[in-house]
Amino acid sequence: MLIRRQSTRARRPRTHRPAHATAAVAVAAAAVLGLGACDAGGEAAPKGKAAAGPSVVAPGKPGEPAKTMSAQEAAKALPDGSPNGADFTYARMMIEHHGQALVMTELAPKRAESAKVKGLAERIAGAQGPEIAAMQGWLDNNGGKKHKGGHDHGAMPGMATDKQLAQLREAEGTDFDRLFLKLMITHHQGAIDMATEVLAQGNNVQVEEMATDVLAQQTAEIGRMRDM
């Protein structure tokens, strides 16, 4: 009967957890299997040890030390994927951040000279428009209206100033190309910084996936823009 119960647990679907929790899950699972092996042997453990249970070393989040706790404490400490403040802040700020990128890309068809710059602007708009919709959908589905935590839009990394946007609107030809690439590289780097931060501090799987996509895509685009 014991073997049958363990087999059933093995077939139970596994839920996705943020990367910082994976190691803790593996350690806790190993501790549980160890208890099962002792029970299968039919030998009763000393009362003191049975009451305390095995100790589990649970790795902390980035920058935090590991903690030693019981298997029961480790199970309770594992994140359940519920959005936290960092997740909501990231979604709201990235919607506005992407919005400014769309403002910049809208100028390229008429003001850019380089076909490569025009093509890049088109690809950026084609990617970030749907990403804005996805993040807004996530906010709507997760009660974003109830979590309106304040954030300073001016503190968002990589955002172009009003003066810089005015200069971009006035520029033409190769002058536009150079300024567009300069501002967009900085803009992309800001998005990467924000994505990196939420991957370390957030707790929701969907936000983690969106941030990972931003990280990969915009890192690649920075490389292309620097080559231009």
Q: Is residue 171 within a helix (H) or strand (E), and if so which, with residue range? A: none
Please, which residues have CB within 8 angstroms of residue 82's CB and are 6 or more apart in sequence?
Answer: 203, 204
Handedness of CA 50, 55, 58, 60 (dihedral sign): positive
pLDDT band at 102 (very low <50, low <70, confident <90, very high): very high
What are the pLDDT digits (tens) for 72-84?
554 444 457 899 9
What are the pLDDT digits (tens) for 43-58?
444 444 444 455 555 5
What are the pLDDT digits (tens) for 108-163?
999 999 999 999 999 999 999 999 999 999 999 999 888 765 555 457 999 999 99
Give the CATH number of domain 85-227; options: 1.20.1260.10, 2.102.10.10, 3.40.50.720, 3.30.1490.390. 1.20.1260.10
Between 72 and 94, the more confident residue is 94
Q: Which of 221, 6, 12 is nearest to 117 (CA)?
A: 221
Helices 162-170 and 173-201: crossing angle in degrees, nearest 10, is 150
The percentage of residues in the chain with a pLDDT greater than 70, rounded to a whole number, is 63
Report the b/e string of 157-166 with b at 16+ CB within 10 A: ebbbeeeebe
* pLDDT for residue 98 is more than 70: yes
Between CA 60 and CA 196 the distance in angstroms is 17
Looking at residue 67, the DSSP 8-state letter turns out to be E
pLDDT band at 68 (very low <50, low <70, confident <90, very high): confident
Separate counts of helices (H) and strands (E) for the chain: 10, 2
Please, which residues have CB within 8 angstroms of residue 204's CB and are 6 or more apart in sequence?
Answer: 18, 81, 82, 83, 84, 87, 142
Looking at residue 42, the DSSP 8-state letter turns out to be T
The percentage of residues in the chain with a pLDDT greater than 90, rounded to a whole number, is 58
Q: Where along the chain do its domains lie? A: 2-77, 85-227
* Helix, strand, or coil (residue 70): strand
* Cβ pair 104, 120 in contact under 8 A: no
* Helix, strand, or coil (residue 15): coil
